[in-house]
Structure 1
């Protein structure tokens, strides 16, 4: 029953691991531990994470045509929605370092052998659906405010956005909609991927555990989301190059956040 295994794990029962209450100090400690993991072998991790700035640049280049100009910001901002999935290799590095195992970057690719891979891909597919939905909403919002005709140039597009009432409404409404999408992703996947990598519990159990963790720790999780958003913005400023450092640190820190939140009954 492969499909059921994706939903609930090999035990065919929905796992509900115990959740701890954490504080803001735990958030900062997770970040510190993530930085320590990154500092252990930064050259390996920067090489591994070059996919983030490369993909960011490709997205902007692809959308630089007049027809796609309104989607530049949604593409860049929405790309972060997929971050939890693409950081899966970094969780594996942190997991191995925690166990005292070899942490060479090639082990990040061993995730493909994980028994939970179908569940990981299922949650990743959910993120992709949310990413596409965000782009659709962004395009619909722009069309409603500015009409179906694409902007003639980047300069005219920026002028219309920053010097008109519709432009102000576009920025306010667009960011509000983006915030809702980001909130859904944060609540459903804050610890889902590291949990699936650590234990094959199924996609539904991982999402449900993330939701329970968010509801039990609303302030720390909200703080975590704000920190992630702020660091991602900083990372995108120098033509996305900063993401080669920011993303590994956040990826490793997410593993340690998972460890702090979910009780490991196996120990």
Structure 2
């Protein structure tokens, strides 16, 4: 599909109108996200957030123990709450779009948004999803590697990785774990593809909407644009993996670029 058109349906006056777009809108959003990042680099902010988390995970990895099997679910699961971390980036793109002054300090202006209560409510929902993912990952480990009586407890990450790829129980864990992770990631994608930017945008315009409306709008946008939204999810997944190699350094660039790109994708999916 090359043209965008407003989805024709009966909606309440206060309900945001969804557009249908083609995959070219996804690539354009990514291009504009990169442009915004170059104009206002925020990598130092993200490094300040990423490396304390990475340090904690590394410390737990070296100490071994019962938390060891959850290290990868914890590291990968932080992508589930990534939309919350990107709120400041959305604000930077919004200000740049409006022609307002932009500096990294404006990323903190989110705390003054009229939509902050709804934003916090959605953020809490993502935290619940993240905790649910960890619970499911623990159950999967317990039902596969955890039930193998011939395998002693692992002492480090290398031993856990070797066991995951070289044993039948480990391969079952990878299969079911990746399937569950995909479902959780898909849930977060369709829930947040436009919800957080929408709340921030409408709040700044004095047309604040509630969290429920933002959620329903995000689901409607995903349902009306399954291929573009799926492509965006694939791009996010690939860039997050690439950004994690080596030592998560690339995430300091990947995360803000994806945040800016999400804003521009929202602008194409939801009419003003």
Greater relative contact order, per chain length (Cα 8 Å cut-off, separation 6+): 1
Does residue 160 (structure 1) correspond to residue 168 (structure 2)? The answer is no
Partner of residue 173 from structure 1, selected from 154, 176, 191: 176
Q: TM-score, normalised by structure 1?
A: 0.89
Distance in 2, Cα, partners of 1:180 & 1:164 = 24
CA deviation vs aligned residue, 1:151-207 (integer Å, no higher than 9, x gap): 233343223211111111100100000000001000111111110000121111111
- Counterparts of 1:251-266 in structure 2 under 5 Å? 251-264=259-272
Q: TM-score, normalised by structure 2?
A: 0.88
Does residue 74 (structure 1) correspond to residue 73 (structure 2)? The answer is yes
Deviation of the 1:26 alpha carbon:
0.3
Note closer, same or farther for the CA distance 1:54–1:206 as it changes in structure 2 (3 Å cut): same
Note closer, same or farther for the CA distance 1:86–1:57 as it changes in structure 2 (3 Å cut): same
Give yes or no for contact 1:19–1:212 (8 Å, CA) kept in 2: yes
**RMSD over aligned Cα atoms:** 1.6
- Counterparts of 1:76-95 in structure 2 under 5 Å? 76-95=75-94
Note closer, same or farther for the CA distance 1:153–1:254 as it changes in structure 2 (3 Å cut): closer
Give yes or no for contact 2:30–2:258 (8 Å, CA) kept in 1: yes
Unaligned runs of 5+ in 2: 1-11, 203-207
Deviation of the 1:143 alpha carbon:
1.1
* Partner secondary structure for residue 74 of structure 2: helix
Aligned residue pair count:
250
Deviation of the 1:62 alpha carbon:
4.4
- Counterparts of 1:55-204 in structure 2 under 5 Å? 55-64=52-61, 65-66=63-64, 67-147=66-146, 150-199=153-202, 200-204=208-212
Distance in 2, Cα, partners of 1:58 & 1:126 = 26
Distance in 2, Cα, partners of 1:218 & 1:113 = 34
Distance in 1, Cα, partners of 2:235 & 2:60 = 27
Distance in 1, Cα, partners of 2:86 & 2:92 = 10
Note closer, same or farther for the CA distance 1:151–1:28 as it changes in structure 2 (3 Å cut): same
Distance in 1, Cα, partners of 2:74 & 2:190 = 21
Does residue 54 (structure 1) correspond to residue 62 (structure 2)? The answer is no
* Partner secondary structure for residue 50 of structure 1: helix
Deviation of the 1:127 alpha carbon:
0.5
Aligned to 1:248: 256
Give yes or no for contact 1:15–1:205 (8 Å, CA) kept in 2: no
Distance in 1, Cα, partners of 2:240 & 2:174 = 19
